[in-house]
Amino acid sequence: MSKLADDKRRDFEQEALVHLDALFGLALRLTGGDEPRAQDLVQDAVLKAFRSWDNFERGTNCRAWLMTILRNTFINEFRKHKARPVPVEYDLLADRPSSADLFVADPSGELFDRMIDGDIVRAVQDLPEAFRIPIILSDLQGLSYQEVADLMDIPVGTVKSRLFRARKRLQQALYEYGVEMGYVR
Amino acid sequence: MRPWPWRRRGSRAQTGPVPDAFSCAECLEVLYEFLDGELDSAERPRVKAHLDSCAECFRHLNFEQRFLDQLRSAAAHDDVRSEGLRLRLLELLEREAF
């Protein structure tokens, strides 16, 4: 290995690989907890990042740069498979009950403060893909509706309605979990 | 994390006539867009005016804000360790660097 190539690898390991746990966390959420798929996703994204490491502007946010590469890698895969019928789409038609029960039982939303981060992240992970991706891109990654629409190649109106329903489903799931755990009656 | 639009300074800048009355149903329908900072400058003051005068919708706003705060905060601590993956990547990078 040339010294130049070795320096690049060392530099990349020091600057980029420190964000590996964050990348893996995001990959797990995006894939709905599918660990092998999440590992493949991180691997693809990290190799892409390494190949374009010379273009990365030092001093800018490396974690955000890596997250963007991982997100785009996932979305490209998602788009490739979008044309084929996905059973989860049918799930969109038969929505679960609203989270109105939670607002009635706990109007100030204290339940949310009692939940630990892991409960919430797991509940996101368990959402069907069509709901999970918008909520991850918008709420976990901070993208605008337009950015989510562009990435997922769906209209902004669809992003709004999916986000709305995803959040209500999430509240419903947290409510059910809260009842089970005795956080709410 | 996005700033909450209703907390922004100047968001109370409602100097002209009170905009068209907004129903609770309309308000709740766009509540997430309001909290996400996605409403345009024409619609935001109408929602804000309704929230200022409707205690029930304001309770919904607080509920949804608390939910989104927790969701976004949970995501900020979302790192997951994977030592096996780290070792696999180190090997791949070494091969790639040749």
In tens digits, chain A (185 residues) has pLDDT values of 577 778 888 999 999 999 999 899 999 989 988 999 999 999 999 999 999 999 998 888 999 899 999 999 999 888 777 655 444 444 444 454 455 667 888 888 888 888 877 788 889 989 998 899 999 999 988 899 999 999 888 999 999 999 999 999 999 888 888 888 887 76
What would the pLDDT profile of B41-83 be if each residue is shown by its tens digit?
999 999 999 999 999 999 999 999 999 999 988 877 767 788 8
* CB-based contacts of B48, cutoff 8 Å, min separation 6: B6, B11, B12, B14, B34
B89 interaction partners in chain A (CB closer than 8 Å) = 17, 20, 42-43, 46
Token pair 């929505």: residue: A95
- Report CB contact under 8 Å: A25, B60: no
d(CA B98, CA B95): 6
d(CA B37, CA A138): 12
Cβ-based neighbour number of residue A164 at 10 Å: 17
Phi, psi of B31 (to 5 degrees): -60, -45
Q: What is the pTM of this model?
A: 0.77
Nearest CA in chain B to A106: B63
Q: Is the Cβ–Cβ distance between A92 and A154 less than 8 Å?
A: no
Phi, psi of A144 (to 5 degrees): -75, 165
Q: What is the maximum alpha-carbon separation in chain A?
A: 66
